[in-house]
Amino acid sequence: MTSQRSARELPTEPASAYALDPAAAAHDRETSPAWSHCRAGAGKPAVRIAAAIEELLYRVLLLSGLAVVLSPVRGGRWIAVLLSAALFGAAHLGNPGASWVAAVGTGLGGVMYGVAFLGTRSVWLPIGLHLGWNLAQGVFGFPISGHVVPGIFRAVPTAEDVLVLTGGPYGPEAGIPGMLARFVVIGLVVLYLGRRWPDGGFATLTYAPEPQRRSRAA
């Protein structure tokens, strides 16, 4: 009778959206041209260079310009962050596995880096955050904005109907956990800015003093 089927015959739900497979990752490291590229010394520098170039383009150039233009407007610096983040997300629509949901997730990253940039008036914190985010995904074998880089593990999807969790071929940025992680980091960045510069303002996104004021104080 069907009611007496063994537990082995009953369908089971996956315990998680991804399973980390070190054996598969080891096979990748032996056979993947991408991993050979990494072993040749070009992989990790490529990740660093990509993060630095995007920060220079989208934060130093684009966001700085928008912040200057919109500074007379109430909340102008926040508007500048959101506009530059939207363009940052849209620019990734051409990546493998990208969708508008993925663009929103990547855009949240733009907010994260933008707040760090305007809050510190320096590009170093957003570069560090960007690089850390990419490396954390790559080490565990997750796609980085649609690009697969062999890591210590390979993240293997354990179900076909959990794209909302895994982000699918685009990576965690397109899934709910990845987006929630973005919000957590944004909150931590704001907390850091408030503790580092207690006189700063969240509403105006002004924390670190202007460079000329720094030189006078010195």
- The 10s digit of each residue's pLDDT in 124-154 is 999 999 999 998 888 877 888 988 777 666 5
pLDDT at 12: 38
Contact 156, 121 (CB under 8 A): no
DSSP, collapsed to helix, strand or coil, labels residue 63 as helix
Give the residue carrying structure tokens 């733009």. 110
- The owner of tokens 């233009």 is 69
Residues 65/58, Cβ–Cβ less than 8 Å: no
Structure confidence by residue, pLDDT tens digits, 162-178: 677 778 889 889 999 99
